[in-house]
Amino acid sequence: MKMYHYLRQWGLDVSKGRAFILRTIRQTIRFSYSSICIKAGHKLATQHRARVIVQKSEVTWLGTHAFHAVFSRKPHAYAGLLKSLQFDLSLHKYRRFKKQFREVIAEGLSPLTLLCF
């Protein structure tokens, strides 16, 4: 959601800056995965024997799906970007995640329907 509003405030032409936006999305997802891994190895987590078992591909798929869900609220403005994100989601290596995370996606999308754009 923040990224959507940042793009509007910056006045960035999405059709011309699609590659920049895609790189930013991918970098954000990679940062999220790195942050999860770092926090899992933190002193407090190790003291409480916390186990975080998450794969990079799972985080990548969930993050891509989240960005796709937000940008799909304005499909006319982000048509090219949505095609790229949809292509990423349709890759063979991510096919199993759609079924695996069905409940998580449904739960995550329910508050999004309440938001007004």
pLDDT in tens, the chain (117 residues): 676 677 778 777 777 788 888 999 999 999 999 999 988 888 888 888 888 888 999 999 999 999 999 889 888 888 999 999 999 999 999 888 988 888 888 787 766 655 544
14 in any annotated domain = yes
Alpha-carbon span 74 to 60, nearest angstrom: 22
pLDDT at 77: 82
Report if residue 8 sits inside a domain.
Answer: yes
Contact between 104 and 62 (Cβ < 8 Å): yes
In a domain, 43, yes or no: yes
Residue 114 resides in a domain: no
Residue 45 is part of which domain span?
Answer: 1-108
- Say what percent of the chain tops pLDDT 90: 37
Question: What is the per-residue pLDDT for 87?
Answer: 95
- Tell me whether residue 41 is in a domain: yes
The answer to whether residue 53 is domain-embedded is yes
pTM of the predicted protein model: 0.78
Which helix or strand (DSSP H or E) is residue 20 part of? Answer: helix 18-40
Number of structural domains (the chain) is 1
